[in-house]
Amino acid sequence: MSFSLLLAKTSHHLVDNATVEYGTKYVLRALDFIWQQTTLLTWLQAVIGISFGIIVLMYGWRIYKALTVVGFGILGLYLGLWIGEQFQKPLPGAIVGCALLVILAIPLMRWAVAVLGAVAGGILAAGIWHSCNLPQEFVWAGGLIGFVAGGMISFIIFKLAVMLFTSLGGTSLIVIGTFALIYRYENFASDPPTTHLNQLYYGNPWFLPLLLTAGTLLGIILQFGFLKNSKE
């Protein structure tokens, strides 16, 4: 009897460790992807990204239709890439996924906004979950809660959904562009080169989620103010 209990506890412990390890790898993979995109940007690309990000952050609701089509196309690109990789054909899958969702986004604009609002909510909620040092194996649960909340907001208050995903998109461009400028300064202009940004980025789980959340809230406040004082 005691041997059976010991075996059960050992198995449970192994499963928990495997789940935790998978959750940690998932988070690190997302952080690594963002960091890789940051380090590939040039000075000019970073400045253009920051400039466009400021416009989207402040006036995204004015051009939300174009942003929705572009955002839905990017979403289709990554979905198609993932599906294509399962059949060893990532490039055709990415092209088909991007084209398909771009075509669908135009006649189904409100549904496309709802999906992007849900995705934005999921990203923010997963980031908050990670930054609060909650169990990393359940980071998907935090993202799912945000996804559902973002989707519900999209159907209840359409304008808020537009502000949510445009503010997050603009903030992401500003943050990544700023990171790229700091990275290039630390590695190519500083003597000797430093790694302060890298240490801050990977050493503090709250760093990136805090920037994205604060920027998104700021964008929503700004857009709401501009929308309130403008003609319908």
**For 100-129, how does the pLDDT look when each residue is reduced to its tens digit (9 = 90+)?**
988 988 888 888 888 888 889 988 988 888
Task: State the DSSP code for 88.
Answer: T
- Mean pLDDT throughout 38-52? 92
The tens digit of pLDDT for each residue in 29-44 reads 778 888 888 888 899 9
Answer for the pair 216, 165: CB distance below 8 angstroms, yes or no: no
DSSP assignments along 120-146, one per residue: HHHHHHHHHHHHTT--GGGHHHHHHHH
Whole-structure pTM value: 0.80
Q: Which of 140-144, 187-191, 217-221 has the highest mean pLDDT?
A: 217-221
Q: What is the percent of the chain with per-residue pLDDT over 90, rounded to a whole number? A: 20
Phi, psi for residue 55 in degrees, rounded to 5: -65, -45
Predicted local distance difference test score (pLDDT) of residue 5: 40
The tens digit of pLDDT for each residue in 76-103 reads 888 888 888 888 888 888 888 889 988 9
Residues 6+ apart with CB under 8 A from 132: 206
